[in-house]
Amino acid sequence: LRRLQIFRIVHSIDEETEKKNKADLKRLFSLAKDEILLCVGGMLALVVSCLSQIVAPFFFGKVIDTVMESMEDLDRMILILFGIYVGGAACSFIRAYLFVLAGHRLVARLRKRLFACILKQEIAFFDENRTGELMNRLSSDTQIIQSTLTVNLSMLLRYTFQIIGSIVLMFVVSPALTGVLLASIPVVAIGGVLYGEFVKRLRKRFQDELAAVGATAEETISNIRTVRTFCSEKKSEEQYDKGIDKRYLIGKKLALAEGSFNGLVLTISQGAIVLVLWYGAKLVYDGRHGKSGISFGTLASFMVYSINVAMAFGMLASVYGDFMQAVGASIRIFELLDRKPKIPHVGGNRFASLEGRLEFQKVSFAYPTRQASQVLKEVNFAVESGHMVALVGPSGGGKSTIVNLIERFYDPDSGRILLGGYDLQSLDPQWFRQKISTVSQEPTLFATSIKNNITYGKEVNIEEVVDAARKANAHDFIVSFENGYDTIVGERGIRLSGGQKQRIAIARALVMDPVLLLLDEATSALDAESEHLVQEAIDRVMQERTVLVIAHRLSTVRNASKVIVVDHGRIVECGTHNSLLEKGGIYKKLVFHQLTAGSIEFGVP
């Protein structure tokens, strides 16, 4: 009874996978529905070119038999045969062109959809998924789907058609010989199904491993400076090598499986051909000696059919493996395409205007990747419209997390955040994010012109760009470059100092004319000149605006209308600079440390 139960369970799992496979395959094909016209055109061409392949051997036999009898019809027969081959080749060209074109169109569309889908995901998704893996889905997985759905599909159809057509004509030519050949088919078919299942699993692992090493490489190359500083090239290399070796081992198994399967198919099919030749030769002999048999030409055309069928089987076997690989790749792509972002990208309320007032009401939060450690615990505070409030406290206390929540990169686990009096979760994220600007400690600039960087969030005319750059103390150094605002920054362009980057980031934030400005003062020491210019720019920007600043400098906290001290995810003190000094608590210690250490660091006690 137990055995029966186990059998049932195994059986139902098998059924389940089969169902899933079918569903995956169906969805895989549904991807190509916009290319249906191209595919239909390709298929028509395919049918014609296959037909030519199928009837050609028939004429081949006729030519031989003609020569055996008389020479009269030879030229005509040869011309027909030639015509069939040329026509077939032309259709082959059309088929290949249309299918490859459909493939390019499909993969272009798929990549666009996938990229858009990745961009819509909430920030926590990017904490969980490594960049390199996502890149791999965009490039390699889509590529596999392209080649499978078009090139392989056309091959699959071609060979299937060729096999069926050839077998039908073989029956017409000689049923007895066909019977001999067909006996080998079940063996190949059973082997093929078993092999396909095995290879599908291996191929998925093969792809997964590539994604993993891709992520390692991406991380190392994009952080090459840090890698160099710590002399950890060897370590990265070893890590990469390990992944590649692991993949190689899977590849080795795959090669063995592919090779032996191809060998098996060839042995069986060619064995069948030899058998056919043996039996066919006997029939020809019988025919020539007055018994019932076949002609030379019949045997010749039958042999060509047999070889065609055997080759088609061999090709089908390899196409089958590729198909299974595409199913593996498509599973990963569909996973991504189906993923609904946990925080919507658009949708929600938009209003004619929005005030900068900000309020946290009993906000608690843990990062989804580290659910166990609560980063914010019942945080309450408010920033009144037009005021500047400073967040201070030891590093790791939760200040940046507060800023992340205001941008709605993450949603709180409990409590509410209000912006302009509205619950943040009721507002359209795309709309309210436009009303907020952030200047971070190490701002990211894109590899494009300075002007494009400044107008990254909002398209404005050059006058406004210059105005923002002037306010950000960036104009002077920008015009000192040969190409001014058109100077390209980033990897292939000019290298900017930390202070210059920050001033461009400030200009970028200013262009948005935000109702709420989120600022993270730099802790890293800028050179004195830069420091002064950045500070002046920041002070100017803060005027008459609602600002929440992660403060590191004494002058900032002095000017703040309220100072909030965050430690271990809680607000431990709150008040003006003077009142907190009088209180003599943790804030006083922080200030004291700042004065004695003489550094611009304010956050680290």
- What are the residues binding ligand ADP (CB under 6 A)? 127, 367, 369-370, 375, 395-401
- Alpha-carbon gap, residue 359 to 561, rounded angstroms: 15
Comparing CB distances to ligand ADP, the nearer of 536 and 601 is 601
Radius of gyration of the chain (CA): 36
Q: Closest approach of Cβ 8 to ligand ADP, in Å?
A: 44
Q: How far is the CB of 395 from ligand ADP (least distance, A)?
A: 4
CA distance 496 to 504: 10
Q: Which is nearer to ligand ADP, 325 or 502 (CB)?
A: 502
Closest CA to 166 of 270, 316, 314, 303: 303
Smallest gap, in angstroms, from Cβ of residue 370 to ligand ADP? 5
Instruction: Provide the minimum distance between the beta carbon of 209 and ligand ADP in the complex, in angstroms, as a whole number.
Output: 26
Query: Which amino acid, 260?
Result: S
- The answer to whether 74 touches 67, Cβ cutoff 8 Å, is yes
Nearer to ligand ADP, 205 or 568 (CB): 568
Residue placing its CB nearer to ligand ADP in the complex, 399 or 451: 399
Q: How far is CA 471 from CA 204, 474, 475, 536, 568, in A?
A: 55, 8, 8, 9, 36
Distance separating alpha carbons of residues 426 and 423, to the nearest angstrom: 5
Residue 374 CB, shortest distance to ligand ADP, in Å, is 9
Nearest approach in angstroms of CB 440 to ligand ADP is 11
**Pairing, β 414-419 against β 546-550:** unpaired
Please report, for residues 207, 237, 390, 407, 489, the alpha-carbon distance to residue 546 in angstroms, rounded to integers and kept in the order given: 49, 48, 11, 15, 30
For residue 452, how far is the Cα from the chain centroid? 26
CB of 138 closer than 8 Å to CB of 115: yes
CB of 376 to ligand ADP, least distance (A): 8
Report the side by side order of strands in the sheet with 422-423: 374-383, 358-366, 414-419, 422-423
Longest dimension (CA), the chain: 124
449 DSSP 8-state letter: B
Angstrom distance (rounded) from CA 278 to CA 282: 7
Of the pair 477, 602, the CB lying nearest ligand ADP is at 602
| CA gap 276, 270 in Å, rounded | 10
Q: Which is nearer to ligand ADP, 362 or 370 (CB)?
A: 370
Residue 155 near residue 315, CB atoms below 8 Å: yes
CB of 392 to ligand ADP, least distance (A): 9
Nearer Cβ to ligand ADP (57/397): 397
State the minimum distance, in angstroms, from the CB of residue 520 to ligand ADP: 8
- Cα–Cα distance measured from residue 605 to residue 601, given in angstroms and rounded to the nearest whole number: 9
In the complex, minimum distance from the CB of residue 397 to ligand ADP, in angstroms, rounded to a whole number: 4
Burial 33-44 (b: 16+ CB within 10 A, else e): eebeebbebbbe
Residue number, 401 or 535, with CB nearest to ligand ADP:
401
**CB of residue 100 to ligand ADP, shortest distance in Å:** 43
Which letter, b or e, does each residue of 432-459 get, where b requires 16 or more Cβ atoms within 10 Å of its Cβ? bbbbbbbbbbebebeeebbbbbbbbbee
Q: Taking the complex as a whole, how short is the minimal distance between the CB of residue 398 and ligand ADP, in angstroms?
A: 4
Q: What does the angle CA 272 – CA 275 – CA 279 come to, to the nearest 5 degrees?
A: 140
Helices (H) and strands (E) in the chain, counts: 22, 10
Q: How far is the CB of 379 from ligand ADP (least distance, A)?
A: 11
Edge-to-edge strand order for the sheet containing 388-392?
436-439, 516-520, 546-550, 388-392, 562-567, 570-575
